[in-house]
Chains A and B, each alone.
Chain A
Amino acid sequence: MSTPNGAPTEPAVADAEFGSADNLVELEHLTKRFQVRQGVFARGKSEVHAVEDVSLTVRRGETLGIVGESGCGKSTTARLILRLLDPTSGAIRFEGQDISRLSQRQLRPLRREMQMIFQDPYSSLNPRKTVGQIVGSPFVIHGERRAKTRVQELLETVGLSPEHYNRYPHEFSGGQRQRIGVARALALSPKLIICDEPVSALDVSIQAQVLNLLRNLQRDFNLTYVFISHDLSVIRQIADRIAVMYLGHVVELGESESIYESPKHPYTAALLSAVPRATTGHRERIMLTGDVPSPIAPPPACIFHTRCPRFHQGHCDVDAPPLRELEPGHAAACHYPLEKWPMTDDEIRQAEGALRADKPSLEGATQEA
């Protein structure tokens, strides 16, 4: 990771953890940019900076939650891990093996080990196939016989009845369809399952069913999850460690409890305070103004500085803060991380601490919402 003025970089947090046998997945300086053409008539090409310099590890048996709003790059990161996309640069390692540049054919045997559950239970199942065919297709694809008994066992494992073998997806509710998707993912006993917003499209009373199912399956089958969601409440219930993403960057990474109890990055704090809660009574809230900048022209240096209540002119818009460990197991990419939590809006604007180089100048950086 380098800063725009070429200053030497600090080692990324994950560097210290790379190479451990505990890690199922390692992402090192992963970057993905998409080419887009601006308009039918224009000739210029631009790049969408979907994922920028992301370094992460996923430890065996844990659930890593990736949280962020739309356009932050979390789904793209998931697809990169599964090599459904090719990285622009950087490395992806699965069980120590570098898979970043493998061809699709070489990846095939690895696909047994990593699977995905999708967001929309209505479009992720082929409506023309029976449940039995859907859940059995992984066997067929990998050259095994589709054992009916195996499929029925899987159906039972996810809480469906084995008699559903011959039914079609449209005969099931959203929650049940999601279970079918889970059964399909489990078919070949993978090590890693990526859950891309698996409960976002479900009713609240059904979300809990599916989340419980996922937790139980993890325990019973020793699974490792990467759980992607924009819903912080859901993430809190399932993730052990969390990566908070914004505009393609990881801005905070650490143990789940640590992040919820004391977030360090102002964006994380804003996210936490924006979540409506079933508590009555007044609550401090940090309001971010404006909208997320375009990923085609991301802000220089600190990716969040255009909306940050702690913005320090001359520092945050010049030097990109590295993702640095502030406490054991808790890292943030910020020059002025929060000292405590909760903080009022005013407290947030006043950055304390040894990192402060000069008097903060907040001109033009924040307005009342």
Chain B
Amino acid sequence: MTQDSRLLLDVRDLTVRFPTSDGVVQAVSNVSFTLSRGETLGVVGESGSGKSVSNLAIMGLLNRNRANIAGEVEFNGRDLLTLPPNELRHIRGKDIAMVFQDPFACLHPMYRVGDQIAEAVLAHSNEGKDHARKRAVEMLGHVGIPNAKARARDYPHQYSGGMRQRAMIAMALVHNPSILIADEPTTALDVTVQAQILELIEEVKREFDIGVILVTHDLGVVAETANSVMVMYAGRVMEYGPAAQIFAQPQHPYAWGLLDSMPTIERRLSSLVPIEGSPPSLLNPPTGCPFHPRCVYQFAPCATERPPLVAPVPEAHPDACHLPWEKKVELGAKRAVAAIVGEDAA
């Protein structure tokens, strides 16, 4: 998929466990993916899928005393998971930056926005406060905040939701990071603002030639912005491949279920087809395939053998499902996104 010189991040078998008094929470299990410059990786999943925890682990934002993290996260020739906290801190906010979901709560309410961005500048440079402030104003203007100089002196509560998220993005970009991780950046925003923010992230990606990991539960967002897609469920990867392929030929029953059950704006359906049941407990995940209790197509091996993440045929993308390839083709074709505009969903 990528040339080596453009490869930014190589995650292999990332596993996160939280020991609690009730047992071990298997938050993330064997997640592997890569990210290159100019690529937007869309990570899709519902609550409990592990999509946020994986990224927190990559950034080193999980408390190492309370989480067991295994696997390899290779960035710039080094494994981030083995770095001492001090070195990781130099990468965080500088080479890899993260933007979170709720801009209302993500900025400190008692400090001015410009000062908070300047603080990000000063965290990784020695250039002095004036330089930091100028850079903050410059970035605010860059992300489309009008009157940046004046607005930098405002407090977060004087900004609207969209502006706060822009400020967060500005803050993330001050050191020209190679990777931007956006964890549900638009979920808490109105839909017209959402469109603006997604456009901004896309522009930023092109302009700075960075890699973006976009975490969301919204398949529509992924379809419009992602180059590659990773579908997660119960802490594991269910399907992973180029966006165009995943939407033209989805291969995993969970992906089919998502596409079927998502309320669509295209047409009113006579009835929606939900995925019955609820997401599984991460304390005692199901044996075999984690999705099998809710899967309409489950058969003999699903309850006992965990399906490996592997491409069923060389020209397809990897998925974690036991179903034979022909079945996947048949059922996937029915849900291909192009088909939604035509007839009723299966």
Q: Indicate if A touches B (C-beta under 8 A).
A: yes
What is A's interface to B at a CB cutoff of 8 Å? 69-70, 173, 175-176, 203-209, 211-212, 215, 230-234, 236-237, 256-257, 260, 270-280, 283, 285, 287-288, 291-292, 369
Once A208-B274, A275-B191 are accepted as A-B contacts, the answer to whether A203 and B262 lie under 8 Å apart by CB is no
Please report the C-alpha to C-alpha distance between residue A191 and residue B274 in the assembled complex, in whole angstroms.
Answer: 27
Stretch touching chain A among B4-12, B22-30, B253-261: B253-261
Q: Would B224 and A208 count as touching, CB distance under 8 A?
A: no
Chain B residues positioned under 8 Å from A280 (CB to CB): 223-224, 243-244, 247-248, 337
CA distance A283 to B223 in the complex (A): 12
- Determine whether the beta carbon of A206 is less than 8 Å from that of B278: yes
**Stretch from B66-74, B80-88, B176-184, B192-200 that touches the partner:** B192-200
B-chain residues with CB within 8 Å of residue A270 when the two chains form the complex = 192
Across-interface contacts of B265 in A (CB, < 8 A): 232-233, 236, 260, 272, 275, 277
The answer to whether B266 touches A205, judged by C-beta atoms less than 8 angstroms apart, is: no
Name the segment of B90-98, B106-114, B147-155, B212-220 touching the other chain: B212-220
In contact, B46 and A205 (Cβ under 8 angstroms): yes
- Known A-B contacts A257-B268, A291-B162, A369-B199; the reply to A276 vs B261 at CB < 8 A is no
Distance in angstroms from B333 CB to nearest chain A CB is 15
> Cβ of A275: which chain B residues have Cβ within 8 Å of it?
191, 220, 265
Question: B191 near A274 (CB under 8 angstroms)?
Answer: yes
Asked if B329 is an interface residue, CB under 8 A from chain A, the answer is no
- B246, closest chain A residue (CB): A280
**Inter-chain contact A230/B191, CB cutoff 8 Å:** yes
Which residue, of B221, B265, B266, has the highest number of chain A Cβ atoms within 10 A? B265
Query: CB < 8 Å: which of A231, A271, A278 contacts B340?
Result: A278
Could you tell me the distance in whole angstroms from the C-beta of A206 to the nearest C-beta in chain B?
Answer: 7
Query: How far apart sit A272 and B220, CA to CA, in the bound complex (Å)?
Result: 13
User: DSSP majority for the A interface?
Assistant: helix
A270 to B196, CA, bound (A): 12
Return the chain B residue nearest A240 by Cβ. B268
- B343 → chain A, closest Cβ, in Å? 15
CB closest residue in chain A, given B159: A291
Task: For A172, give the chain B residue with the smallest CB separation.
Answer: B278
Interface of B is mostly: helix
Q: Which residues of B contact A291 (CB under 8 A)?
A: 160, 162-163, 193
- CB pair B192–A237 under 8 Å, yes or no, is no
Q: Cα distance A232–B192 when bound, in Å?
A: 12
In angstroms, Cα B193 to Cα A291, docked, is 8
Could you tell me if B266 and A277 are in contact, using CB atoms closer than 8 angstroms?
A: yes
Q: How far is the CA of A69 from the CA of B161 in the complex (A)?
A: 12
CB distance from B159 to the nearest CB of A (A): 9
Instruction: Indicate whether B341 reaches chain A with its CB closer than 8 angstroms.
Output: yes
Cα A173 to Cα B277 in complex, Å, equals 10
Q: When chains A and B are docked, how far (Å) is the Cα of A70 from the Cα of B191? A: 10
Q: Please tell me if the beta carbons of B217 and A204 are within 8 angstroms of each other in the complex.
A: yes
Q: Which residues of B have CB within 8 Å of A277?
A: 220, 223-224, 264-266
Contact A237 B268 (CB under 8 A): yes
Q: Is the CB of B194 within 8 A of A236?
A: no
Within 8 Å by CB of A276, from B46, B161, B220, B269, lies: B220
- For the complex formed, measure the closest distance between the CB of B187 and the CB atoms of chain A, giving whole angstroms: 10
Q: Are B268 and A236 in contact (CB under 8 A)?
A: yes
Q: How far is the CA of A260 from the CA of B337 in the complex (A)?
A: 20
Query: A271 to B276, alpha carbons, bound, how many Å?
Result: 31
Please give, as numbers and ranges, the residues of chain A lying within 8 Å of B225 by CB-CB distance.
276
B264 touches A236 (CB 8 A): yes
Task: Name the distance in Å between B342's Cβ and chain A's nearest Cβ.
Answer: 12
B293 within 8 A of A: no
Measured in the bound complex, the distance between the Cα atoms of B258 and A236 in whole Å is: 18
Known contacts A237-B263, A276-B223: A212-B274 contact under CB 8 Å:
yes
**Besides A205-B46, A212-B272, A234-B263, 11 other A-B contacts (C-beta < 8 A):** A69-B192, A175-B278, A204-B46, A233-B220, A274-B192, A275-B191, A278-B219, A279-B338, A283-B224, A287-B196, A291-B160
* Assembly CA distance A280 to B247 (angstroms): 8
B273 interfacial by beta-carbon distance below 8 Å: yes
B47 interfacial by beta-carbon distance below 8 Å: yes
Q: What are the interface flags for B42-64 relative to A under an 8 Å C-beta threshold, 1 for contact and 0 otherwise?
A: 00001100000000000000000
